[in-house]
């Protein structure tokens, strides 16, 4: 049997604060297996579980969505359709951010004294409005 990891060791190895570990445990995303005094003890595999949680959060999954996977017996992955949907969503978000960056660069470098008199800025505003309206219709 591998040596159990103290909560501080898990925090050091995973980069998740001890309060974060306790919160994840409260949400039933991870579980301690025993205590050494008042200190929680975890199986070494919890570090990999935390890496999965961190990755899923980075991809925009909520803790509830992550919990649906980790709390389902036998579930080892997020359904592929869910992953593809999240990937599409991230690509759309990236496109919106690129367009926003272009708009900001234009505004910063626009030769017009008044941005609202600039025809290029007016076109960018229309694109931004369309993107915002399309996004709100999708929600």
Q: What sign does the CA torsion over 94, 95, 97, 102 have?
A: positive
**Domain spans of the chain?**
5-70, 80-138
Share of the chain above pLDDT 90, in %: 43
Position 138 confidence tier, pLDDT thresholds 50, 70, 90: low
What six digits make up the tokens of 1?
Answer: 């049997």
CATH of 5-70, one of 3.40.50.150, 2.40.50.100, 1.10.1660.10, 3.40.50.300: 1.10.1660.10
Exposure on the CB side of residue 87, measured as CA atoms within 13 A: 7
Q: What sign does the CA torsion over 74, 77, 78, 84 have?
A: negative
Taking only the tens place, the pLDDT of each residue in 32-47 is: 999 998 899 999 999 9
Taking only the tens place, the pLDDT of each residue in 68-116 is: 887 766 666 677 888 899 899 999 989 888 888 888 888 888 888 888 8
SS3 content of the chain, % helix, strand, coil (to 5): 65, 5, 30
Indicate the helix (H) or strand (E) that contains 69.
Answer: helix 63-70
């Amino acid at each position: 049997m591998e040596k159990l990891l103290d909560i501080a060791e898990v925090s050091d190895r995973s980069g998740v604060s001890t309060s974060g570990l306790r919160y994840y445990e409260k949400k039933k995303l991870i579980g301690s297996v025993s205590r050494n005094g008042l200190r929680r003890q975890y199986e070494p595999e919890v570090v990999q579980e935390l890496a999965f949680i961190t990755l899923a959060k980075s991809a925009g999954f909520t803790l509830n969505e992550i919990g649906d996977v980790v709390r389902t017996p036998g579930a080892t992955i997020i359904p592929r359709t869910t992953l593809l949907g999240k990937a599409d969503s991230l690509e759309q978000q990236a496109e919106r951010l690129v367009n926003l960056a272009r708009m900001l660069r234009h505004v910063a470098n626009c030769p017009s004294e008044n941005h609202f008199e600039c025809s290029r800025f007016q076109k960018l505003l229309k694109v931004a409005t369309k993107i915002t309206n399309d996004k709100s219709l999708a929600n």
